[in-house]
Amino acid sequence: MLGYDIVLLDVEGTTTPISFVHEVLFPYILDNVDQFLKAKWRDPVVQEHVRAIADQTNKDAQAGIVHATPIDLDADTPEVIRQKVAANVNWQMKADRKIAALKGLQGYMWRFGYASGQLQGVMFDDAVEAIKRWSTDCKVFIYSSGSVEAQKLIFGYSDHGDLLPYISGHYDTNIGSKQESQSYTKIAEDIGVLPKRILFISDNENEIYAADQAGFQTVVSVRPGNPLLTEATKKNYKLTSDFMELL
């Protein structure tokens, strides 16, 4: 019998190689954002994302962020707006910003990339097998800094087929920062399970610390390309490079 009722999984560096995110997903956005905006300019959803980017960018400019290029949706021409949106997406991604406006546009672009076959989610073999096994004895949830939509695309269009039927729910930073313990408390309350009955797996030490403080069981994911761990983490937390060990 498992010692937990819920498995909560990070994505990047846990179920999915870090290289997939940084060498496939991010370049796809940077290489295609200008062309995508031009091709789908009249799409109402694209216009919503453009307005969100403009609002965020104008706030950034007012706050004195030098890289932010203000966007005047009333005075700028569509071509200028597209150029400014692309420029702002570029610097924000290079700065690894995790903001809703950027993630919204990224998710919408990735949706078309996956649907067209240009993108395919990459999963570690043991993670896929463990998720399938776990789903028969407990429930599996995902908690990632990537948007819920981005999560569903990675798992729905994975190199192991559609894995969404094995996953009971998704959380992103709308519920709170992954490095703050109260975020994990909120997740436990939302699921309706005591924190001590949830196993959280991530490659990020600060996320592990936060989940531990919230009373979760924790395991650190050790994968190729992941950041090096501190000696304190190696000493005080369980590590694994094969999720089947946890079964």
Binding residues for substrate: 144-145, 178
Q: 70-80, pLDDT tens digit by residue? A: 999 999 999 99
CATH no. for residue 89? 1.10.720.60
Asked, for residue 42, whether it belongs to a domain, the answer is yes
Does 128 lie in the same domain as 90?
Answer: no
Q: In this predicted model, what pLDDT tens digit does every residue of 143-169 receive, in sequence order?
A: 998 889 999 999 999 999 999 999 999
Give the H/E segment covering residue 199: strand 198-202
pLDDT for res 114: 97
Say how far apart CA 72 and CA 90 lie, in whole Å.
Answer: 18
Asked whether residue 229 falls in the same domain as residue 140, the answer is yes
183 and 125 in a common domain:
yes
Structure token digits, residue 225: 């390309």
Average pLDDT over the chain, rounded to an integer:
96
Confidence of residue 13 (pLDDT cuts 50, 70, 90): very high
Same domain, 41 and 147: no
Q: Do 43 and 147 lie in a common domain?
A: no
153/139 same-domain check: yes
Which residue ranges make up the annotated binding site for Mg(2+)? 10, 12, 203
Mark the binding-site residues, compressed into ranges: 10, 12, 144-145, 178, 203
- Structural contact between residues 78 and 41, judged by C-beta atoms closer than 8 angstroms: yes
- Pairing relationship of beta strands 139-143 and 238-240 according to DSSP bridges: unpaired
Q: Cα–Cα distance between 176 and 200 in angstroms, integer?
A: 16
Q: Does the residue 1 lie in any domain?
A: no
Domain residues for the domain of 54 are 22-115
Please indicate, yes or no, if residue 53 is contained in any of the structural domains: yes
Dump pLDDT digits (tens) for 207-219: 999 999 999 999 9
pTM: 0.90
Which pLDDT does position 147 carry in this prediction?
86
pLDDT tens readout for residues 109-141: 999 999 999 999 999 999 999 999 999 999 999
pLDDT at 99: 86
* 93 and 164 together in one domain: no
* CATH code, domain with 144: 3.40.50.1000
Q: What is the pLDDT of residues 188-199, one digit of tens each?
A: 999 999 999 999
Helical spans, DSSP H, in 40-170: 44-62, 78-94, 100-115, 125-137, 148-156
Q: What b/e sequence results for 70-85 when a residue is b if at least 16 CB atoms lie within 10 Å of its CB, and e otherwise?
A: ebeeeeeeeeebbbbb
